[in-house]
Chain A
Amino acid sequence: MEAVKTSEKTTLQVKRFKPSENPTTNFFTEERGLKAWLTTVDHKKIGLMYLGAVAFFFALAGFLAIALRTELWTPAKTFIEADTYNKLFTLHGAMMVFFVLVPSIPAALGNFILPMQLGAKDVAFPRLNLASFYIYLIGAVFTFIALFMGGFDTGWTFYTPYSSDGDSATVIWVTLGVFILGFSSILTSTNFMTTIHKLRAPGITWDKLPLNIWALYATSIIQILATPVLAITILLLSLENIMDIGIFDPAKGGDPVLYQHFFWFYSHPAVYIMIVPGFGIISEVITTFSKKTIFGYWAIALSSLAIAFIGFLVWGHHMFTSGQSPVATTIFSFLTFLVGIPTGIKIFNWVATLYKGSIDMKTPMLYVFIFLFLFSIGGFTGIMLGALSVNIHLHDTYYVVAHFHYVMMGGTLMALLAGLHYWWPKMTGKMYNETLGKVAATLIFIGFNMTFLPQFVMGAQGMPRRYYNYIDQFTPFHQTSTVGSYVLGVAFLIILYYLVKSLMSDEKAPANPWESRGLEWQSTSPPDLHNFDHTPVVINKPYDYHRPMEEFQLGLAVEHNGHGEAHDVDVKETEQENS
């Protein structure tokens, strides 16, 4: 046997596998046809199907946003009724949160990239992975049923008593839809955690995990701990609607504030479910395009876990004006400030990574800079909202709306776009038009700030959120915001255009267009059905840009049971050879 076990190291016989630039077979060419796609257990195909579904819901909810902004062009009615307006903003919020932001990075990009970055052939439970996608679709069907039954106007938070009296049938459908969606994210995160623990390629010790994996790991932990609480909350709410069990509904003797506790026990951590995977992408892209090792690897890795933990202790900052006890309010406010620390650690480490790097301003990197700028604004305004006295003034105003759009759209979505452009050549094997990419990124930056900066100002001046009418004083702000949303719409159409165009072009992307040291780039583009045509061996850290590329293209020369080795490996090279 070639594997010689010494006290702490395993010697592995390896050789160099340089990925071929234009493979004749890949995961697209094997298992072709609609049926193969719909029944596939391949994490890459499932990831792409998720990507398609998320893009669809993003387009839909984005279209709703533009309709809402158009309605707000004039202080009174512009073109839709007040009732419709209420239903549309509820739908926009619920869809963006539950159908787009929560699954976007983990289930779409994460599904594709995670096993590749671990050197695994698939996630630990491929069939559950496929099930999670169908469960997601079933959840969507339930929501559409609620929609066709007349829609719901509770706001995406489904607060009791809005959601427990009045038209309960639609609320039951949509909340059951969210309940079902919860199972989908539970399955994804169970899969990710197990895969990270048990399916790592030889040599990937915990200190060699890419930061994207650390981020997905932290996200999975949050999802596993928080999602079941959402599930039980939604179930109790449904029972409240079906048979008035009286736990949340004040008319039946229940406590609506208790509902808010339950809901935010999930939904505050959920904002980290949405943003932490984005942090992972930023770490990957920023190192690749500054050709420099990450600054503060452990600081970034562990701050993800710190965010995951502290994120569970601050939910009450959504309830400062709800009648919550003063003791709880004070403690929640204090803890909220603490979350700023690990997030700040990340920002500083990324900036330090840029320092003296050879920065290449490709489209993904452009999005990273947009992310750093917008997310910092979002983060700072979040700290301001966490301050008790300020919160009382700003609660339920457009200031809050602007804050969470800066964090969620300026943060998560920009990171998603960075990741999408970064991994697009790997996922599709095609290259998009760089110039158009930069044009779109610029437009997004302009459009985004045009849309949401005015909202900070009007919020601070007292414009309440979710209102259909407003006083004349706010007209210029609202109109600037509406124009900004149109710019955003155009930018997204440009992105759609050049991405679809790249799919149809014959131009093939090289295996590693960015010269990244990441393990996922050491396979062909698009990857083989089983990701690598060899079991990769990892001896360097994922961001060792000072090491030669050859050391990153090592794979097992002989059969060896090397998966999940917790210890370091010694490498014995055989003659070099291209596979």
Chain B
Amino acid sequence: MANHSATHPAHVQHHFVDSDQQFESAKMGMWVFLVNEILFFGGLFTAYIVFRAWYPDLFTQAAQELNKLWGGVNTIVLIGSSLTVAMAIRSAQKNQKRGLELNLLFTIILACVFLVIKYFEYEHKLHLGIAPGSFWNPTPEILAELSHPKANIFFSIYYVMTGIHGLHVLVGIGLMIWLYIRARKGHFSSEYYTPVEITGLYWHLVDLIWIFLFPLLYLIE
């Protein structure tokens, strides 16, 4: 190629002119992907809204089975992880390798805490027979509380929404581990931290979704 620049830094792919173009492209691409994510969850929120508008009583009744305390704790855990991701990006921008590694590690830990709490919540409900779809088999005491004939649908929505969100957290953990390994190898610097930036965006979106899931599922009186 006649116009291949000799001063191309190693991390810049051949079809980009410079590092900045590559960074801006990656970031825009991630935002476009987040648009996808929003409408993907948007479908679930639509189902939620339609059923809530049809059966408001069902939602007030069934939400009593969800634990506000643990839902709240998980919200704060996720907010904390968003903060650490933002700090990780800041560390990368300032060339602080140690700070980047530590913040990524904190993020991974917080994400795992989120999933563990979620696991115990699920475990507790499944134990009471509050399970999705064909596994729906509540104990008599629970059935007395959940008298609404469509109670199973609320929990279907609950499990699908939190389940898909949980999957996103799991994917996020995988990405964070990948970033951590690359950070250890010294791949990132203030010149090049694109993967940290765009994974961060993804992680914040996972947080954003939960910010809406929490009041909509747990905080119905």
Interface, chain A (partner B; CB < 8 A)? 120-122, 124-126, 186, 189-191, 193-194, 197-199, 224-229, 231-233, 235-236, 239, 242-247, 252-255, 258, 262, 530, 533-535, 556, 559, 561-564
Enumerate B169-215 residues with CB–CB distance to A below 8 Å.
none
Contact at A245–B46, with CB atoms within 8 Å? no
- Provide a sorted-by-A list of 17 A–B residue pairs whose CB atoms are within 8 angstroms: A124-B29, A126-B15, A190-B29, A190-B32, A193-B28, A198-B21, A199-B15, A199-B21, A224-B32, A224-B36, A229-B39, A229-B42, A229-B43, A231-B40, A232-B44, A556-B3, A564-B17
Complex interface: chain B residues within 8 A of A194 (CB): 25, 28-29, 32
Alpha-carbon separation in the docked complex, A530 to B15 (Å): 8
What are the 5 closest A-B residue pairs judged by CB atoms, nearest first? A232-B43, A243-B133, A228-B40, A245-B156, A121-B15
Contact at A198–B28, with CB atoms within 8 Å? yes
Contact at A197–B28, with CB atoms within 8 Å? yes
Alpha-carbon separation in the docked complex, A562 to B16 (Å): 11
Contact at A253–B149, with CB atoms within 8 Å? yes
Alpha-carbon separation in the docked complex, A535 to B17 (Å): 10
Shortest C-beta distance, B196 to chain A (Å), equals 17
Contact at A243–B33, with CB atoms within 8 Å? no
Contact at B15–A247, with CB atoms within 8 Å? no
Query: Which residue on A lies nearest to B149, using beta carbons?
Result: A253
With A193-B28, A232-B44 already in contact, 19 other A-B pairs whose C-beta atoms are closer than 8 Å: A122-B14, A198-B28, A224-B36, A227-B36, A228-B40, A229-B43, A232-B40, A235-B164, A236-B47, A239-B160, A245-B133, A247-B156, A247-B160, A253-B150, A530-B14, A534-B2, A559-B3, A562-B17, A564-B21
Complex interface: chain B residues within 8 A of A254 (CB): 153
Alpha-carbon separation in the docked complex, A199 to B21 (Å): 8
Interchain CB contact (< 8 A) of A228 among B1, B18, B36, B152: B36
Contact at A258–B47, with CB atoms within 8 Å? yes
Contact at B35–A224, with CB atoms within 8 Å? yes
Alpha-carbon separation in the docked complex, A155 to B44 (Å): 24
Complex interface: chain B residues within 8 A of A189 (CB): 32
Contact at A120–B15, with CB atoms within 8 Å? yes
Contact at A534–B43, with CB atoms within 8 Å? no
Contact at A125–B160, with CB atoms within 8 Å? no
Enumerate B1-60 residues with CB–CB distance to A below 8 Å.
1-3, 5, 13-18, 21, 24-26, 28-29, 32-33, 35-44, 46-47, 50-51
Interchain CB contact (< 8 A) of B5 among A126, A246, A534, A559: A559
- Known A190-B32, A228-B39; judge A236-B153 contact (CB<8 A): no
Alpha-carbon separation in the docked complex, A231 to B3 (Å): 42
Contact at B160–A245, with CB atoms within 8 Å? yes
Complex interface: chain A residues within 8 A of B33 (CB): 186, 190
Alpha-carbon separation in the docked complex, A534 to B159 (Å): 55
Alpha-carbon separation in the docked complex, A134 to B94 (Å): 39
Interface, chain B (partner A; CB < 8 A)? 1-3, 5, 13-18, 21, 24-26, 28-29, 32-33, 35-44, 46-47, 50-51, 132-135, 149-150, 152-153, 156-157, 159-160, 164
Shortest C-beta distance, B132 to chain A (Å), equals 6
Complex interface: chain A residues within 8 A of B39 (CB): 225-226, 228-229
Complex interface: chain A residues within 8 A of B5 (CB): 559
Contact at B133–A561, with CB atoms within 8 Å? no
Alpha-carbon separation in the docked complex, A247 to B24 (Å): 40
Alpha-carbon separation in the docked complex, A543 to B29 (Å): 30
The residue among B17, B37, B134 with the most chain A CB atoms within 10 A of its own CB is B17
Alpha-carbon separation in the docked complex, A412 to B56 (Å): 45
Complex interface: chain B residues within 8 A of A559 (CB): 3, 5
Contact at B153–A253, with CB atoms within 8 Å? yes
Shortest C-beta distance, B13 to chain A (Å), equals 8
Alpha-carbon separation in the docked complex, A194 to B26 (Å): 8
Complex interface: chain A residues within 8 A of B21 (CB): 198-199, 563-564
Alpha-carbon separation in the docked complex, A232 to B157 (Å): 13
Contact at B156–A533, with CB atoms within 8 Å? no
Contact at A243–B29, with CB atoms within 8 Å? no
Alpha-carbon separation in the docked complex, A227 to B87 (Å): 33
Query: Which residue on A lies nearest to B37, using beta carbons?
Result: A228
Alpha-carbon separation in the docked complex, A556 to B4 (Å): 12
Complex interface: chain A residues within 8 A of B51 (CB): 247
Complex interface: chain B residues within 8 A of A242 (CB): 133
Complex interface: chain B residues within 8 A of A229 (CB): 39-40, 42-43
Interchain CB contact (< 8 A) of B157 among A126, A197, A247, A564: A247
Contact at B134–A253, with CB atoms within 8 Å? no
- Known A243-B134, A253-B149; judge A530-B32 contact (CB<8 A): no
Contact at B25–A199, with CB atoms within 8 Å? yes
Contact at B153–A246, with CB atoms within 8 Å? yes
